[in-house]
A and B are shown apart, each in its own frame.
Chain A
Amino acid sequence: MKNRLKVERAIKDMTQAELAQRLGVSRQTINAIETGKYVPSTILALKIAQIFEKPVESIFFLEEGD
């Protein structure tokens, strides 16, 4: 799975730490998602979408092989 989290964060001018704090997760978690190491739970993905006021599918995408 790919994601545009880093881009969305840049648009909102939000640091990893700020996003992490709003989501109630650690900064490592945000970093792991952005670097593609970790696929977040559906709940976390929905919360992220809520913060960026966009549908989940415009932030997270399936890639070939998923």
Chain B
Amino acid sequence: MTIPPMKKLPLLPNRYKAIGWVLLIPFFGLGALKLIFPDQMEWSFMTYRQGDYTFFDSGDWLFSLKYNNFTDEFISLGLLLGLSLVAFARTRTEDEWTTHLRLEAMLWSVLLNTVFVALTIIFIYSSLYLTVMMINLFSILMIFIVRFEYLLWRERQQLGEKRS
């Protein structure tokens, strides 16, 4: 007798979680490098240029772009994909309790992220503000993954203790 999952959340199959980690780890490293060394992390083969346009008159839209180095776009999308696969893939034993933990972790991360943004607005200015905002593009999913994995780990720990 099995219980059909109620109110099924739209999640990806479990195997995408492993794929997500494989993407996430290198792209996380690349993202960190890009933040620390923004100028060195501009791969030349990722540069698109029309005539002698530069960063300062590059255009605002993809379809009117005159100049851009796509290293940051590449890293951002890779990181976002890795994070999404890890965050939105079913756990191996996804049931109503895991779903409960998942939603709790999501609420927790949105709250923490909001506090993080507020503190950034209050305490950080100038170009450092933009840097922190860049981190913020990814932080909801990052905090969620850390929190959710911690909750699952804690559950497994407790069960291990119970058995011995």
Contacts and interface: CB of A to CB of B under 8 A. Distances in A.
A54 interface: no
- Chain B interface mostly helix, strand, loop or mixed? helix
Interface string A25-49: 1111101110100101101100100
Nearest to B1: A22
A49 B84 CA distance: 38
Contacts of B97: 25-26, 28-29, 32-33, 38
A24 interface: yes
- Chain A interface mostly helix, strand, loop or mixed? helix
B159 A47 contact: no
Contacts of B95: 24-26, 29
Interface in B1-41: 1-3, 6
Contacts of A32: 97, 155
Interface of A: 22-29, 31-33, 35, 38, 40-41, 43-44, 47, 50-51
Interface of B: 1-3, 6, 93, 95-98, 100, 155-156, 158-159, 162
Given A23-B1, A26-B97, A29-B98, 12 more contacts: A24-B3, A25-B3, A25-B95, A26-B98, A29-B95, A31-B155, A31-B158, A32-B97, A43-B3, A44-B3, A44-B96, A47-B3
